[in-house]
Structure 1
Amino acid sequence: MTQTLALKDRDLFWPPADELTEATERIRARLGDWPPTHAPWRICLTAPDEPNGGDLIVLADAQQHGEQVARWLVRGAGVIEAAENKATLHLGGEKYRLEGHLAEDWIAALAAFLDCGFDPHDALVLALAWRDGDETRADDAFPADLARFPRLAGLPAAPAQAFARCPERLGLYPVLPSAEWVERVVGFGVKTVQLRRKSAQPADELKREIARCVAAGRAHDAQVFINDHWRAALEAGAYGVHLGQEDVHTADLSALAAAGVRLGLSTHGFYEILKALHFRPSYIALGAVFPTTTKVMPTAPQGLKRLARYVRLLDGVVPLVAIGGIDLQVLPDVLATGVGCAAVVRAVTEAADPAAAVSALQQGFTQ
């Protein structure tokens, strides 16, 4: 665990604040070892003369500084509006609205989580999960009580009923490019698969593909999820759909929940985890754990340390799926975090012998 830190010689706050820096060091020393951050953010308690892309400017009321805030945002700076147990981050054209507890040392906690390498919206979530004195209560004071975490404001209403549950530990979860692959892999005995079509195709052809996948799942007593194409999946009676964060704003989640369709949601950090939990999905995917070439990722790889933190926070709350760059070599390390499911792509589709690859991967879940 980190014992000494070199924060006092860094430009953490504007104006410089020795007491905040000392509090940040105390908190940071109890958060564990993390790779050094590549984005040295500076928290500004008053606006600097020349804000830049590394500044996070804290205000009580952003509306009172309307034109200035607009200029700061154009220059790449972020603005945190914090008052009355609410905090809103304006950054990169996005607005992250949080409601929860603001501890007296929340700014020091924010600086500590930024130093751990968390992006500002995730660091702000963790800062609102912080409580004064947490660093004195345990060697590892990293927030792990979901009840302490803030609520996200401004989200679309969740369906009246929660999504149907799926098994707590889904095991091996191949993500496959075609109905032919789905039929092949469920034939190997895999019980959870996903169809992810990356290329555009005519609607009728897509419907036929999905219908084949649904039929294969029923024939082999397997759970087939359909990525993105929720309308066609609903029409075909699919077991489940998997959606990205942006899809919750456009998909008819109420219709899916009412039909008993299971819902999996992608996440890439603490803020998106809270957003996913709001919709009460059947499972949450955590990724990308490792670098992946199968799709363009919006964030850097999460790594095993973050995955372990997500599992600790969410274990027993919702089934979890680790995804991104997972193969037979790293599978034991992934499962050691406690996650009950690992999604794989190339480990199956690019294997010289897919049946043997599936068998070896499945054995990894029994060891």
Structure 2
Amino acid sequence: MSLLNREVFWPPADELTEVAERIRARLGGWPAAETRWRICLTVPEAPKADDLIVFSEPHDGAVEGAGAVLEAHGDRVTLRRGEERFALEGDRSDDWLSALAAFLDCNFEPHDALTLALAWRSGDENRDDAWPVDFATFPRVADLPPAPEGGFLACPNALGLYPVLPSAEWVERVLDLGVRTTQLRRKSADPADLQREIARSVEAGRRHDAQLFINDHWREAIAAGAYGVHLGQEDVQTADLSAIAKAGVRLGLSTHGYYEMLRALHFRPSYLALGAVFPTTTKVMPTKPQGLARLGRYVQLLSGRVPLVAIGGIDAKVMPDVLATGVGSAAVVRAVTEAPDTAAAVSSLQQMFASQR
């Protein structure tokens, strides 16, 4: 096991390491950690880039040379890594630091490993499935603005095949083939073009009684009376979520791991997108690919709580494995737009969803 024969805690803490090894042994096989983090219980004389330094009292700012700083006091834990700050609130078990070491060793980014460590409960390693899957034990993301009153309108729990398309012409073509959920991702800075493409797409959605989402351009989506909008994590800070909710426009939010899922759920969106599952070239991703094992765990935690959409690098070859996780929808791009025969590609993908029912 990869925790053995290396420095996990500093100063050396045999009891913490022993518990961490026991927890890690019950978490299953995961890719080797890209960064071998060392959890420092005091500040080393010469901090290193792979040191995560823990303070039990408030500490303002970074420690020169260290990779990350963790401030834990009361029911609040704050992680600082460079300019990024992640604040969580909730109960902590006695084993949370050992669990943190174990989840870091599973190659989770520190903020996601911390989220899982705070969800861990002492003795969980004795269960048949030791992975944290009880939503009630997970922490809350702190310091978020209030969610829109009443939340967002619901959408179907299983959105099915979800093509993300570059133009209204593509939206019309795909809806004509029987698809009932799609997204217009129009990459244009021309306001007239955006207004025209969005209005045309929304009209196509109405004709087909389809779930048509507009990527990013929430103001134009409201003006056109769109079924929904899809926003990224960064857009939550700038978009007027209350205006979107009051307009009766549904909201889908992108997430890239446990912390972002909890952050997104605070706003009570209509669905969560989970990704990128596989490498993708259609847009620059802020995180490495999640993979099927993580997707399966996300679905296990959130299924029945909010509709879920797998996204990122999904094509016909991997679609059966994606659907086997239990996710109710999968977004595709090139599997439709670059297919030699669009109708045949859509029909084949639709059949894969039908076989899962």
Sort the TM-score into its range (normalised by shorter chain). Answer: over 0.9
Q: Distance in 1 between matches of 2:246 and 2:58?
A: 40
How far the C-alpha of 1:70 sits from its partner, in A, is 3.5
Residue 23 of structure 1 pairs with residue 19 of structure 2: yes
1:134-213 to structure 2, matched below 5 A, reads 134-136=124-126, 138-198=127-187, 200-213=188-201
Q: Distance in 2 between matches of 1:8 and 1:250?
A: 45
CA offsets 1:271-293 (integer angstroms, 9 cap, x no match): 00000100000000000000000
Residue 353 of structure 1 pairs with residue 341 of structure 2: yes
Q: Distance in 2 between matches of 1:201 and 1:268?
A: 26
Report the more deviating stretch, 274-283 or 84-93. Answer: 84-93
CA offsets 1:101-135 (integer angstroms, 9 cap, x no match): 11111000000000011000000000110111111
Q: Distance in 2 between matches of 1:363 and 1:71?
A: 54
Q: Give the alignment partner of residue 249 of structure 1, picking from 199, 222, 237.
A: 237
Residue 121 of structure 1 pairs with residue 81 of structure 2: no
Question: Given residue 68 of structure 2, which amino acid in structure 1 is its aligned partner?
Answer: G
Contact 1:76 1:92 in 2 (8 A): no
How far the C-alpha of 1:86 sits from its partner, in A, is 1.2
Correspondence for 2:28:
32
How far the C-alpha of 1:259 sits from its partner, in A, is 1.5
CA offsets 1:7-47 (integer angstroms, 9 cap, x no match): 23111111111111100011111111111111111100011
How far the C-alpha of 1:84 sits from its partner, in A, is 1.0
Q: Distance in 2 between matches of 1:39 and 1:45?
A: 18
Correspondence for 1:85:
75
Q: Distance in 1 between matches of 2:183 and 2:82?
A: 32
The alignment partner of 2:12 has SS state of: coil
Q: Give the alignment partner of residue 365 of structure 1, picking from 350, 353, 356.
A: 353
CA offsets 1:122-173 (integer angstroms, 9 cap, x no match): 000001101111112x132110011110001111211011110000000000
1:265-344 to structure 2, matched below 5 A, reads 265-344=253-332
Q: Give the alignment partner of residue 53 of structure 1, picking from 49, 68, 75.
A: 49
Contact 2:97 2:117 in 1 (8 A): yes
The total of aligned residue pairs comes to: 355
Contact 2:58 2:73 in 1 (8 A): no
Q: Give the alignment partner of residue 112 of structure 1, picking from 65, 88, 102.
A: 102
Q: Distance in 2 between matches of 1:45 and 1:164?
A: 46
TM-score (norm 1): 0.95
CA offsets 1:219-251 (integer angstroms, 9 cap, x no match): 111111000000000000000000000111111
How far the C-alpha of 1:71 sits from its partner, in A, is 4.2
> Percent identity of the aligned residues?
68
TM-score (norm 2): 0.98
| Moved >4 Å (runs of 4+) | none
Calculate the aligned-residue CA RMSD, in Å. Answer: 1.0
Q: Give the alignment partner of residue 218 of structure 2, picking from 194, 218, 230.
A: 230
Correspondence for 2:5:
9
Q: Distance in 2 between matches of 1:302 and 1:34?
A: 11
Q: Distance in 2 between matches of 1:113 and 1:54?
A: 15
The alignment partner of 1:365 has SS state of: helix
Q: Distance in 2 between matches of 1:55 and 1:135?
A: 26
Unaligned residue ranges in structure 1 (runs of 5+): none
Unaligned residue ranges in structure 2 (runs of 5+): none
How far the C-alpha of 1:6 sits from its partner, in A, is 4.2
Q: Distance in 2 between matches of 1:347 and 1:239?
A: 24
Q: Distance in 2 between matches of 1:77 and 1:300?
A: 18
The alignment partner of 2:354 has SS state of: coil
